[in-house]
């Protein structure tokens, strides 16, 4: 019998063929249920895999430790990204799904970016809502044309847009096919993010 999967998670099987599964990664204080409605809207009928972050900050789940807002514990980011990539590989076996498209928000987008740094073959693509540079050196592997959508809020007080621009540049230099959208919004998700994600999935043949 396969070992039990190491993250608390939700899984919804696909109800339509031919769509990339989505890996949903919540923000600080969220859980595995948070992004399911957004996943269903962005790619109706796709399989949804949604783990809960294993780090607790004052009772709020996260995907890695930070020393202060925007100041990451890089050793922990590295270790947690490897653990999450291992979970995704095991869950793909258990649920018989293909490589997912990561769809992360805030802290969830940052751990997805860290996996792009370390094990990019984990994903068929990535949608990073409100992401920043996750590690203190450049990506370790070639991203080999992997499609990545980054959306930033020009009024985001938590993630400065300049940081997302640097993230886009580093991923692009490592070979990712980057699309970076900047919207006149704050840290919260908006309809503009949802529509951009829908178009990007369709344009890259990863969604309907
Ligand atoms: C992080 O810690 O990943 C970022 O600062 C975003 C957040 O507040 O979660």
Q: For position 207, what pLDDT does the model report?
A: 86
Residue 20: CB within 6 Å of ligand 1? no
Residues in the chain: 208
Rounded distance from Cα 159 to ligand 1 centre (Å): 8
Q: Within 10 A of 69 (CB to CB), how many other CB atoms are there?
A: 9
- Catalytic, 156? Answer yes
Q: In the chain, where are the structural domains located?
A: 9-203
**CATH number 3.40.640.10 given to 9-203:** no
With both helix axes pointing from N to C terminus, report the angle between 74-95 and 107-118 in degrees, rounded to the nearest 10: 80
Q: What is the pLDDT along the chain (208 residues), one digit of tens a residue?
A: 567 889 999 999 999 999 999 999 999 999 999 999 999 999 999 999 999 999 999 999 999 999 999 999 999 999 999 999 999 999 999 999 999 999 999 999 999 999 999 999 999 999 999 999 999 999 988 999 999 999 999 999 999 999 999 999 999 999 999 999 999 999 999 999 999 999 999 999 998 7
Cα–Cα dist 153/186, whole Å: 5
Atom number of ligand 1 nearest to Cα 66: 2
Q: Does pTM surpass 0.75?
A: yes
């Amino acid at each position: 019998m396969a070992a039990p999967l190491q993250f608390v998670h939700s899984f919804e099987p696909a109800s339509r063929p031919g769509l990339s599964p989505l890996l949903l990664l919540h923000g600080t204080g969220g859980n595995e249920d948070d992004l399911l409605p957004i996943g269903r809207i962005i790619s109706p009928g796709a399989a949804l895999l949604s783990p809960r972050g294993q780090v607790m900050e004052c009772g709020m789940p996260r995907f890695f430790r930070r020393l202060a807002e925007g100041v990451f514990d890089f050793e922990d980011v590295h270790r947690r990204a490897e653990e999450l990539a291992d979970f995704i590989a095991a869950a793909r076996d258990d649920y018989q799904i293909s490589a997912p498209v990561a769809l992360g928000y805030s802290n969830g987008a940052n751990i997805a970016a860290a996996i792009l740094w370390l094990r990019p073959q984990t994903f068929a693509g990535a949608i990073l809502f409100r992401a920043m540079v996750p590690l203190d050196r450049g990506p370790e592997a070639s991203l080999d044309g992997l499609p990545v959508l980054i959306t930033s809020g020009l009024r985001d007080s938590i993630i400065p847009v300049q940081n997302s621009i640097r993230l886009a540049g580093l991923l692009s230099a490592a070979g990712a096919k980057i699309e970076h959208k900047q919207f006149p919004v704050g840290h919260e998700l908006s309809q503009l993010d949802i529509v951009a994600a829908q178009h990007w999935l369709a344009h890259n043949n990863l969604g309907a």
